[in-house]
Amino acid sequence: MERTVVFQVIGSMWAIVIGLIFVWGAVKKWKAIVDPPDELWPFYTQSFYKKFIGKESLLLQTYIVGLGCLGAGLYYLFMAISRQ
Protein backbone atom coordinates (compact mmCIF):
# COMPACT_ATOMS: atom_id res chain seq x y z
CA MET A 1 0.00 0.00 0.00
CA GLU A 2 1.34 3.43 -0.90
CA ARG A 3 2.21 5.85 1.83
CA THR A 4 -0.18 8.52 0.52
CA VAL A 5 -3.07 6.05 0.66
CA VAL A 6 -2.22 5.25 4.27
CA PHE A 7 -2.21 8.96 5.15
CA GLN A 8 -5.55 9.43 3.37
CA VAL A 9 -7.07 6.54 5.30
CA ILE A 10 -5.74 7.92 8.60
CA GLY A 11 -7.05 11.41 7.83
CA SER A 12 -10.41 9.99 6.80
CA MET A 13 -10.67 8.03 10.00
CA TRP A 14 -9.97 11.17 12.03
CA ALA A 15 -12.76 13.02 10.20
CA ILE A 16 -15.13 10.10 10.83
CA VAL A 17 -14.27 9.99 14.53
CA ILE A 18 -14.71 13.76 14.93
CA GLY A 19 -18.02 13.60 13.07
CA LEU A 20 -19.25 10.77 15.29
CA ILE A 21 -18.21 12.65 18.44
CA PHE A 22 -20.05 15.79 17.31
CA VAL A 23 -23.23 13.96 16.28
CA TRP A 24 -23.28 11.73 19.37
CA GLY A 25 -22.48 14.69 21.63
CA ALA A 26 -25.35 16.66 20.10
CA VAL A 27 -27.75 13.74 20.51
CA LYS A 28 -26.71 13.19 24.14
CA LYS A 29 -26.41 16.97 24.69
CA TRP A 30 -22.94 16.80 26.18
CA LYS A 31 -22.29 20.03 28.03
CA ALA A 32 -18.81 20.52 26.55
CA ILE A 33 -20.24 20.41 23.04
CA VAL A 34 -23.68 22.04 23.19
CA ASP A 35 -23.34 24.30 26.26
CA PRO A 36 -19.67 25.27 26.71
CA PRO A 37 -18.64 28.04 29.13
CA ASP A 38 -18.87 31.56 27.71
CA GLU A 39 -15.41 32.48 29.00
CA LEU A 40 -13.73 30.17 26.49
CA TRP A 41 -15.10 31.92 23.39
CA PRO A 42 -11.69 33.18 22.14
CA PHE A 43 -10.18 29.68 22.33
CA TYR A 44 -12.99 27.18 21.67
CA THR A 45 -15.11 27.27 18.52
CA GLN A 46 -18.22 25.89 20.21
CA SER A 47 -18.10 28.71 22.78
CA PHE A 48 -17.53 31.22 19.99
CA TYR A 49 -20.61 30.02 18.10
CA LYS A 50 -22.68 29.92 21.29
CA LYS A 51 -21.73 33.50 22.11
CA PHE A 52 -22.58 34.89 18.68
CA ILE A 53 -25.41 32.70 17.34
CA GLY A 54 -27.03 31.38 20.52
CA LYS A 55 -27.43 28.04 22.25
CA GLU A 56 -30.31 26.75 20.10
CA SER A 57 -28.48 27.48 16.85
CA LEU A 58 -25.33 25.89 18.26
CA LEU A 59 -27.11 22.53 18.51
CA LEU A 60 -28.12 22.69 14.84
CA GLN A 61 -24.63 23.84 13.84
CA THR A 62 -23.12 20.92 15.78
CA TYR A 63 -25.32 18.43 13.91
CA ILE A 64 -24.42 20.00 10.56
CA VAL A 65 -20.67 20.05 11.24
CA GLY A 66 -20.76 16.51 12.63
CA LEU A 67 -22.65 15.14 9.64
CA GLY A 68 -20.38 17.08 7.30
CA CYS A 69 -17.23 15.64 8.89
CA LEU A 70 -18.75 12.17 8.85
CA GLY A 71 -19.75 12.46 5.20
CA ALA A 72 -16.41 13.91 4.12
CA GLY A 73 -14.52 11.25 6.04
CA LEU A 74 -16.54 8.44 4.48
CA TYR A 75 -16.15 9.95 1.01
CA TYR A 76 -12.37 10.32 1.30
CA LEU A 77 -12.06 6.88 2.84
CA PHE A 78 -13.94 5.41 -0.12
CA MET A 79 -11.73 7.39 -2.54
CA ALA A 80 -8.54 6.21 -0.81
CA ILE A 81 -9.64 2.60 -0.84
CA SER A 82 -10.79 2.71 -4.46
CA ARG A 83 -7.35 4.02 -5.55
CA GLN A 84 -5.83 0.75 -4.40
Alpha-carbon span 72 to 84, nearest angstrom: 19
Residue 47 has pLDDT above 70, yes or no: yes
Span 1-11, average pLDDT? 87
More confident residue, 37 or 83: 37
Domain containing 30: what range? Answer: 3-83
Residue 83 has pLDDT above 80, yes or no: no
Task: Give 57-75 pLDDT, tens digit per residue.
Answer: 999 999 999 999 999 999 9
Residue 84, pLDDT score: 65
Residue 4, pLDDT score: 85
Instruction: Classify residue 2 as left (phi > 0), alpha (psi -120 to 50) or beta.
Output: beta
Whole-angstrom Cα Rg for the chain: 15
Task: Give 10-45 pLDDT, tens digit per residue.
Answer: 999 999 999 999 999 999 999 999 999 989 989 998
Alpha-carbon span 66 to 12, nearest angstrom: 14
What is the model's pTM?
0.85
The structural domain count of the chain equals: 1
Q: Check if the beta carbon of residue 76 is closer than 8 Å to that of residue 9.
A: no
Alpha-carbon span 35 to 57, nearest angstrom: 11
